[in-house]
Chain A
Amino acid sequence: MRDDAVLTRLLRDIAGQDQAALRTLYDLTAAQLYGIILRIQRDRSAAEDVLQDVYLRVWQAAGSYTPEAGRPLSWLCAIARNRAIDVVRRKGEVQGPVHEDGEDWLERLADPSDSETRLLSRDALRACLGRLDPAHRDCVVLAYCQGYSREELAQRYDRPVNTIKTWLHRALASLKGCLEVVS
């Protein structure tokens, strides 16, 4: 089970240098974090290096986790995404093309077989993403799920980087306003 209470307790044990707790946390969350990292850093070997680094950071930083920092799984996912993005941005590498677009991600988000919690916030986010201009929305989703940079989005949509920046800002501002109303 990956509920908040279990993960929070594991993080507390890890803060006390409990390696077995780290192993349990790894068993529960590594596939999800690796999935996230691999979408951003598409080289498997490099993605595994990031994953290793993520859990070593968790080992060091578990004591700094508080419920105010968000849900434990969100906290872990944020560490994984940030590390993966740091690595690809620092290298400045442009990754190869992928054959998914924002629509694919949105459909996956609607998958009713998903039994995870937070259905409400998920539905709210999906509803609000659905109200955005499709190209703007796709930029947000591709950036979040696949680590697209502004430059990569500019290439994909054949627009200047500044236009992409404007799209992102508009989309993010609308999203924030929409989520305040919906949720």
Chain B
Amino acid sequence: MSAGAAGPDDRDLRAAEYVLGTLPAAERAAFEHERTIDPVSAAAVRAWEDRLAPLVLAIPEEQPSPRVWEAIVRALPGGAANDNRVRDLSRQVGRWRLATAGAGLVAAGLGLFVALAPRLAPTPAPPTGGRYVAVVTSGGALPALIVNIDTATGTASVRPVKAEAPAGRSLQLWYVGAGEAPKPLGLIGTDASRIPLPDAARTGQGVFAVSVEPPGGSPTGQPTGQVIYTGQLIRD
């Protein structure tokens, strides 16, 4: 092949070497541009990707560290790190005198948590049309859910900030009154929602918890999966 030739064979070989990764940096950058404006070059790249793709099956898998996913979530547009409202909220967390269960409880079963809940519960506040907030966290710096309780209307507004359901599972929100069994409040979607409250929650006592459940929620009416988030109500 003569140097400088630009015939169809030359283009196909450049596409092949582009896919292979052996083009020198400057030629690689030039071809990167070429493939975006020349459909024939783009098609040649796809054809070479297909031809060589079975070779990736020979490459052993490697587990990346968990910090990679954490960094991805932080960097997502509209994700936690870029959401001004979340930054504001995380600044407010101190003012709310946040009382959350520590990270050590995250992996613990709800049974343990329920046993602890009465001791963790704050002194009951008079149930006179107050507003409460629960910042539900998994022990990290950022809240996973913000639960705003309006006792006047008897509703809770739930705004997921960073809560993510594992694949094929649902996240279910529970209210755990002092010394009581958990009451299912509803499934957590990706959008803010309003849900009616059990009467006991209107006093501002108790704890909110989120568990991982089968799709559609716990089949038993009690948490069956791991409790991944917990948070107490604080008078706003």
Chain A positions within 8 Å of B, measured between CB atoms, are: 17-20, 22-24, 26-27, 30-32, 34-36, 38-40, 47-48, 51-52, 55-56, 59, 68-71, 74, 77-78, 81-82, 85-86, 89-90, 92, 105-106, 108-109, 111, 114, 116, 118, 121-122, 125-126, 140-141, 143-145, 147-150, 153, 165, 168-169, 172-173, 175-176, 179
Contact = CB atoms under 8 A, between A and B. Distances in A.
Interface of A is mostly: helix
B54 A26 contact: no
A171 to B, nearest CB: 9
Contacts, number: 158
B190 interface: yes
B57 A122 contact: yes
Q: Which 9 A-B pairs have the closest CB atoms?
A: A122-B54, A31-B61, A85-B21, A108-B58, A24-B167, A109-B58, A172-B16, A35-B62, A34-B64
A86 B25 CA distance: 8
Contacts of B71: 52
B62 A38 contact: yes
Interface of B: 1, 9, 12-13, 16-17, 19-22, 24-25, 28, 46, 49-65, 67-69, 71-73, 75-79, 164-167, 190
B54 to A, nearest CB: 4
Nearest to B165: A20
29 contacts: A17-B78, A18-B190, A22-B72, A23-B167, A32-B61, A35-B59, A35-B60, A51-B68, A52-B72, A55-B72, A56-B75, A59-B72, A68-B46, A74-B50, A74-B56, A81-B56, A85-B21, A109-B54, A109-B58, A118-B53, A118-B57, A121-B54, A144-B21, A145-B59, A147-B21, A149-B24, A169-B13, A172-B13, A172-B17
